[in-house]
């Protein structure tokens, strides 16, 4: 099934079920009007939501309406926890070169992950207010999963079985602030502003064969200011989502609604392009000795949409956002 959250002036929005072709929607109902509540009672709620989804696709759902992704918040506007990995080793190794840092120990055997802010996610068409162009504004195209409760010490298989929804993410970064924060040993804070999400979260079955071995086998098409930037494919993810979720749960329980990200989608082949500016810039440094591509400026726009291998648009809808100057207090 496909789920989205419409903006209604409240922090958690209004949950809707979205048709397979993303053209229609219907309210999920008054009993569980928010996705976080549904996730907390998944086994009780999923059959009712599935029935609603089936009727919507059959054209028999009462009170359905045209679905407009630009009226959406993030599918889960706020979450108990947002954990982001760096599961595409090609990207991680390029970033080591970019920041001139020594290789991360056990990088190919132990996932790298940070805990981000989860209280203020952005919707797919929201402007992205940021304080300064000098901070090195960058986008990062990713995939992610939303899990049910995960017990402490869960195995990768148990963790993968707890995946309830799959999402598409733009994990904004401020590159000029990252090196200092990494050097402190405390990790990211100011370098990671609010994360954005495509309008629709989907159950894994909606991906069909594109959900394989805990990975999203879709190409993420990225455009910057209307120009092709890249379409790296999710199949090259080194750690699968079961491994990532289990890593997060090694010393803690995870609450229903926890989101775990893949990190920037990245492929070894240069022909695939990139899903973030920093990666393109470091490739330019490697190839020519200097970066030519600038970071984003106010007024720049980035668009991201996953696609199936046969060219069909993916199930999440599109992220399409403009960077703007934050209002001064």
- Predicted TM-score (pTM) of the model is 0.95
pLDDT of residue 183: 82
Tell me the average pLDDT across 166-174. Answer: 97
Regarding beta strands 211-212 and 128-130, do their DSSP bridges make them parallel or antiparallel, or are they unpaired? Answer: unpaired
Question: For residue 98, what pLDDT band results from cuts at 50, 70 and 90?
Answer: low
CA–CA dist 259, 79 (Å, integer):
7
pLDDT band at 192 (very low <50, low <70, confident <90, very high): very high
Q: Are 13 and 6 in contact (CB under 8 A)?
A: yes
Tens of pLDDT, residue by residue over 208-228, are 999 999 999 999 999 999 999
Token pair 């929201």: residue: 126
The domains located in the chain, with CATH, are 2-67 (no CATH), 82-325 (3.90.850.10)
Q: Is 35 exposed, middle or buried (0-12, 13-18, 19+ CB in 10 A)?
A: buried
């Amino acid at each position: 099934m496909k789920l989205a959250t419409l903006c209604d002036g409240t922090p958690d929005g209004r949950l809707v079920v979205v048709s397979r072709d993303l053209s229609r929607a219907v309210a999920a109902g008054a009993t569980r009007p928010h996705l976080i509540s549904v996730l907390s009672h998944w086994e009780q709620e999923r059959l009712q939501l599935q029935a609603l989804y089936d009727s919507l696709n059959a054209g028999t759902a009462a009170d359905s309406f045209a679905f407009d992704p630009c009226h959406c918040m993030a599918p889960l506007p706020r979450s108990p926890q947002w954990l982001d990995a760096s599961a595409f080793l090609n990207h991680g190794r390029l970033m080591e070169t970019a920041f001139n840092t020594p290789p991360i120990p056990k990088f190919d055997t132990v996932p790298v992950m940070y805990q981000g802010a989860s209280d203020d996610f952005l919707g797919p068409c929201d402007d992205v207010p940021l304080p300064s162009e000098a901070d090195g504004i960058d986008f990062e195209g990713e995939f992610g999963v939303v899990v049910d409760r995960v017990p402490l010490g869960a195995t990768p298989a148990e963790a993968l079985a707890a995946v309830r929804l799959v999402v598409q993410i733009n994990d904004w970064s401020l590159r000029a602030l990252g090196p200092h924060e990494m050097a402190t040993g405390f990790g990211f804070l100011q370098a990671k502003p609010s994360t954005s999400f495509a309008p629709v979260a989907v159950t894994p079955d909606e991906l069909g064969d594109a959900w394989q071995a805990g990975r999203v086998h879709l190409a993420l098409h990225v455009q910057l200011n209307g120009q092709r930037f890249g379409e790296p494919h999710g199949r090259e993810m080194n750690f699968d989502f079961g491994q990532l979720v289990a890593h997060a749960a090694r010393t803690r329980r995870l609450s229903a609604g926890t989101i775990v990200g893949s990190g920037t989608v990245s492929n070894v082949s240069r022909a695939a392009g990139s899903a973030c500016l920093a990666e393109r810039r470091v490739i330019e440094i490697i190839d020519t000795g200097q970066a030519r591509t600038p970071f984003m400026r106010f007024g720049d726009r980035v668009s991201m949409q996953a696609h199936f291998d046969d060219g069909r648009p993916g199930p999440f809808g599109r992220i399409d956002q403009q960077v703007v100057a934050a209002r001064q207090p």
